[in-house]
Amino acid sequence: MKSFSERDVRRHYNLLQHSPELGLTHLKATDGDHVIGIGLFDNQADFVSECRRYNGLGTLYVGVNPRSSHLMEDYGGLRNRMRTLFRDVVTEGDIDFVTGMAVGDPDQLAQPPRKFMRDASVLADGEVFFPLDKAMQVSPESLPNVRRRLGVWLYGEVNSGGVDLMQFVRVAGTAAPDDGWFRRRTMFRRFRPYIMDGISAEIEDLNREPRT
């Protein structure tokens, strides 16, 4: 029996802050490097149900940022249910809002995010998650600037290469093929709401051309 924690899956969904007005939660199942299933969700109950159904069939990943609701025009069959697909149908251009950032190596962080580390949740594969207190709107025209600002805030101007808005993280509370007896413990902090006051304002202040 593959391990499954409904409590952790629910907490992870809440952590992402993907309210329906911002978009859809992108769930993906993989077998190694191959996609085997995709679903787009607008509610927690169906998200948890499909995570349970696919648990152990592959590794489950969720998009850090919500995907645009316009995807339902072409992919309505993916609403609130996982479907067998062997390629992803979502691109970075399908993101209208940024609600958070996950960092795999905290040692590379610049000073601004470090002061939030004590309240940051730690996800299934050790990523530190920084939830925004105010969602950032994205358009095709603003995408490069938004990626740059997020990267500068996280890593500083010298080390920043921008942030991938399509980032996925493993769903907390679900099984993975390489899980052993001693699984990394997911740590959720700042329960309800999972926000950190001030992050969004600091990133907005970076809305300027890079210094030379």
pLDDT in tens, 49-72: 999 999 989 999 999 999 999 999
Domain assignments of the chain as residue spans, ordered by start: 6-204
Closest CA to 127 of 164, 156, 158: 164
User: Once rounded to an integer, what is the mean pLDDT over residues 101-114?
Assistant: 94
Instruction: Give the torsion sign (CA, 144, 12, 39, 84).
Output: positive
H helix count then E strand count, the chain: 6, 7
For residue 116, pLDDT over 80 is answered with: yes
With residue 30 as reference, give the H or E element that holds it.
strand 25-31
Which alpha helices (H) appear in 70-129, and where do they start and end? 72-75, 111-114
Please report where in the chains the tokens 């190596």 appear, as a residue: 105
Q: What backbone phi and psi angles, to 5 degrees, belong to 77?
A: -70, -15
Mean pLDDT of 109-131: 92
**Confidence (pLDDT) at 68:** 97
> What are 8's two structure tokens?
């952790």
Distance between CA 163 and CA 179 in Å, rounded?
28
pLDDT at 17: 93
pLDDT at 113 over 50: yes
Q: Which tens digit of pLDDT belongs to each residue from 152-203?
A: 999 997 666 789 999 999 999 999 876 655 555 678 775 556 778 899 999 9
Average pLDDT value for the chain: 89
**Token code pair at residue 46:** 């169906």
The DSSP 8-state label assigned to residue 171 in this structure reads: P
**Where do we find the tokens 């969904």?**
13
The upper half-sphere exposure of residue 158, i.e. CA atoms within 13 Å in the direction of its Cβ, equals 4
Q: What is the band of 212 on the pLDDT scale with cuts at 50, 70, 90?
A: very low
**pLDDT tens, position by position, 128-153:** 999 999 999 999 999 999 999 999 99
Strand ranges (DSSP E) for 95-212?
97-103, 121-122, 128-137, 168-170
pTM attached to this predicted model: 0.90
